[in-house]
Structure 1
Amino acid sequence: MSAYTLPQSQSPVPARGRWWTNRAGYLAAAWAALSGVLALVWTISGSGYPYGTADPQGTASLLRFLPPDVGALVFAGLTITVAVAALAMSGPQAVRLRGVARVLLVAYCGTVVAFLLVVVPDVQVLTTAGYLPMLIIGAPFGWPPVDYAEVFTWSLGNKVWAMAGGILLARTVLTWLFRTGGACLSCGRSADGPTWTSAESAARWGRWATYLAAAIPLLYAATRFAWLANIPLGVSPEFLREMWDTGLVWAGGGLAAFAVVGAVLTLGLVQRWGERFPRWMIGLSGRRVPIMLAVVPATLVAIAVTAGGLAMYSLPEVWDFEAFSFSVGPALLWPLWGVALGAAALAYHLRRRGGCSRCSRDD
């Protein structure tokens, strides 16, 4: 066996058609239509727009300089045109395009997907997700002492809503490409499909993606744990004292702990215990780990990390090399972390999906 080839899954499960295979397009169209109406209300009323300069927590955002009057009109135009495109790509009667028209439609929808998934969300989404376990566990005890109305804001809700639309539209485009390209709607395999999607190939490149996705959050955690140990790693002693005075050092330590947990779970994508629950898990020991139990969380984290990392590049201090510090430095690797984690999740799925009950194809 090759040194770069992981053991094949001990329990391959046939891929089955999912209920949303034919419904994702309609859901995406409904999402876009509703969002378009909402954006028109923002445009006409001049209020309610949640992004850019209208978002008090959007200081680290790629939309930070987009004024409400322009932003609302942009969102209205994008979502209304996407509603039409998603409806045209939905169901067995989906439009079939070839050549330049096909490329343009995929390029436009792909651009909108990228906009919804990694431009609209920002550091607020990632930060809230990181603090969420602490907020849930500490809520009954009144810790941390925060106003939850200031955490779960109208702006945050719209960013999560945008991410949901991006995922629906991405699935719509993928299903349409499968349907009009002669591939299986359930697994995406075709008679002359690419070799990189095979289980054996995914085991090779997925290993490197997984190790990279596990290493980057450990770098972030190392800086925060150092501060918790009162070591000014990459920051000035004055800045570290300020974090101790405000209590931010404890928040950073909590995020570092979850980063370590995330890194360990990421390694599970290439370990046997990532396929079958380990013995110490009473009631689950030896049972097969559902593929989506690993793929869905990893994909969502990959999206949030990529979006938050790209948003960090909008901060002026990132480009001020004299004031640069490790308080933001590790975050500059987050886009790479997100891409690597997404690739690792994809490789895990390809390696474990097994044969398809719909088209009977296998790797």
Structure 2
Amino acid sequence: MRGEGLGERRRWPCVAAVWSSLYGAAHVWWLADPGSPLAPPEEAFSPGRWVAVTLAFTATAVCSVIAAGIGHHWAAPVRWMLVALAWVIGAGLIVYSYMLAISLATMLFGQVDDWGSLLTRAAGATAGALTLACAVAEQRRVRRACSHCARVHGRSPERRTDPTPRWAYLAAYVAIAGCAARVIVLVVDSITTHKPLPFALGAPFGIFVALLILAGTLLPLALVHRFGRIWPRWVVPLAGRDVPRWLVLGPALFVGAGLAGYFGVAGMTAWLLGKGNLAQAPVWKVSMEMFGYTSWGLGLLAASMSYYGLTRPDCPSHGFAVPRALRTSS
């Protein structure tokens, strides 16, 4: 972290610990009083509230250890185990809140049926995101990353103009292939059932589908190609300037986590258990939808890791800023 002091180092882990403990306490309350009018319904295909309680209080313990700095005197392998645990627990909280992306999407159509569920899912995803932030911060300290830019100089990309690794390109094009598989199913289903294609921009669902297709084509390309990091020359007012990293990274993480959680976890579980309408649908259709959405989400998440590293701010201690003339040369 840039200029990270002791107070700043401990502040966010403390926030994460408190938030996670409150989230876990709410689920304990609902377990003790399941008939409470404030208790939101359990998620479909969820293993139960005890999972949320376990994840929440484990996150509280991990973030508390990071906030207190207890692990700074531990051996490196033990500290790496703490980092790995924080990653797993943070990701687990986000996966448990897999319905958040769908809830937010339905808000576009004014169809939110339970605000309690929406707020609970948002709280769980926030707890997961805060825990992952603690994992990243502790990982930087274990790796002895630069305090100004969080890079490990000599091993990390130093500039936005550095080449994207091949694995990130592979991930981005896997995401595009997953989107293509889903669109093919949509088109074939519309043709065979004589339904109109849902691409009319005048309809709210048509706008949603158009945005979804952009998230499966333009977004993964922006994660791995230069135009997603530096505005190209044809964007005259902004040519050569840095693209705000969260303009690309934020939607990529949100869509990637939403697709991977909802379809990769809940959808696959429902399919394997033969629940819902999936059991009656043709196997080719369900498989293309499930694997398409899942590979789309995982591809976005993997490509986001590369984008995150390439778009770190220039390090003031190493003077790696790139002249604007070189930025607009291609």
The partner residue of 2:227 within 273, 276, 282 is: 273
Q: What is the CA–CA distance in structure 2 between the aligned matches of 1:210 and 1:84, rounded to whole Å?
A: 35
- Which among 193, 201, 213 is matched to residue 260 of structure 1? 213
Q: Is the 8 A contact 1:221 1:259 kept in 2?
A: no
**Superposition pairs of residues 32-111 of structure 1, within 5 angstroms:** 32-46=20-34, 47=36, 48-50=38-40, 54-55=41-42, 58-59=43-44, 61=45, 63=46, 66=47, 71-90=48-67, 95-98=72-75, 101-111=78-88
Change (3 A) 1:269 1:17: farther
Please show how residues 61-210 of structure 1 align to structure 2 within 5 Å: 61=45, 63=46, 66=47, 71-90=48-67, 95-98=72-75, 101-118=78-95, 120-122=96-98, 124-132=99-107, 134-135=108-109, 148-150=111-113, 153-185=115-147, 187-190=149-152, 193=155, 200=162, 202-210=164-172
Give yes or no for the alignment of 1:298 onto 2:252. yes
Question: Within 1, Cα distance between the matches of 2:160 and 2:222?
Answer: 20
Q: Secondary structure at the match of 1:170?
A: helix
Contact 1:131/1:255 (<8 A) preserved: no
User: Which whole-Å deviations, capped at 9, do the CAs of 1:131-158 have from their partners, x for residues lacking one?
Assistant: 55x43xxxxxxxxxx5x441x5322321
Shift of 1:295: 1.4
Cα separation, partners in 2 of 1:361 and 1:175, compared to 1, 3 Å: farther
Instruction: Give the SS at the match of 1:183.
Output: coil
Query: What CA distance in whole angstroms lies between the structure 2 residues aligned with 1:209 and 1:25?
Result: 31
Q: Is the contact made by 1:354 and 1:362 (CA closer than 8 Å) also made in structure 2?
A: no
Q: Percent identity?
A: 22
Q: CA deviation at 1:253?
A: 5.1
> C-alpha displacement at 1:168, in angstroms?
0.8
Q: TM-score with structure 1 length normalisation? A: 0.69
> CA contact under 8 A between 1:197 and 1:350: conserved in structure 2?
no
Question: TM-score normalized by structure 2?
Answer: 0.75
Match of residue 223 from structure 1: 185
Distance 1:200 1:77, change over 3 A: same
When residues 72 and 125 of structure 1 are mapped into structure 2, their CA distance, relative to the original with a 3 A threshold, is closer
Asked if the contact 2:157/2:310 (under 8 Å) is kept, the reply is no
- Return the letter of the residue paired with 2:302: A
Are the structure 2 counterparts of residues 341 and 197 from structure 1 closer, same or farther at C-alpha, using a change threshold of 3 Å? farther
Shift of 1:211: 2.0
Aligned residue among 312, 317, 320 for 1:353: 312
Alpha-carbon distance, 1:25 to partner: 1.0
User: Using a 3 Å threshold, how does the CA distance of structure 1 residues 186 and 130 change in structure 2: closer, same or farther?
Assistant: farther
Counterpart CA distance in 2 for 1:187 and 1:170 is 18
The residue identity in structure 2 corresponding to 1:30 is: V
Deviation at residue 166 of structure 1 after TM alignment:
1.0
Deviation readout 1:80-110 (Å, 9 max, x if unpaired)? 3322321220266764322664354334333
Q: Which stretch has the larger CA shift, 208-217 or 265-274?
A: 265-274
Partners of 1:32 and 1:92 in 2: how far apart? 18
1:142 corresponds to: none
Give CA deviations for 1:224-282 in whole Å, capped at 9, x if unaligned. Answer: 23444xx12xxxx4xx66x99xxxxx887554322221122321233443234467768
Q: Alpha carbons of 1:198 and 1:268: their partners in 2 closer, same or farther (altered >3 Å)?
A: closer
Kept after mapping to 2: 8 A contact 1:117/1:166:
yes
After superposing the two structures, state which structure 1 stretch, 41-50 or 341-350, moved more: 41-50
For 2:53 and 2:301, how far apart are their aligned partners in 1?
Answer: 29
Number of aligned positions between the proteins = 306
Q: How far did 1:361 drift? A: 8.3
Unmatched 5+ stretches in structure 2:
198-202, 322-330
Q: Distance in 1 between matches of 2:254 and 2:167?
A: 21
Distance (Å, rounded) in 2 between the aligned partners of 1:196 and 1:277: 18
- Amino acid of the structure 1 residue aligned with 2:32: I
1:100–1:188 CA distance, 2 compared to 1 (3 A): same
Partners of 2:310 and 2:84 lie apart in 1 by 28
Code of the residue aligned with 1:188 in structure 2: it is A
Separation of aligned partners in 2, 1:307 and 1:128: 13
The code of the aligned residue for 1:351 comes to L
Contact 2:89 2:128 in 1 (8 A): yes
* 1:330 aligned to which of 278, 289, 308: 289
RMSD of equivalent CA atoms: 3.8
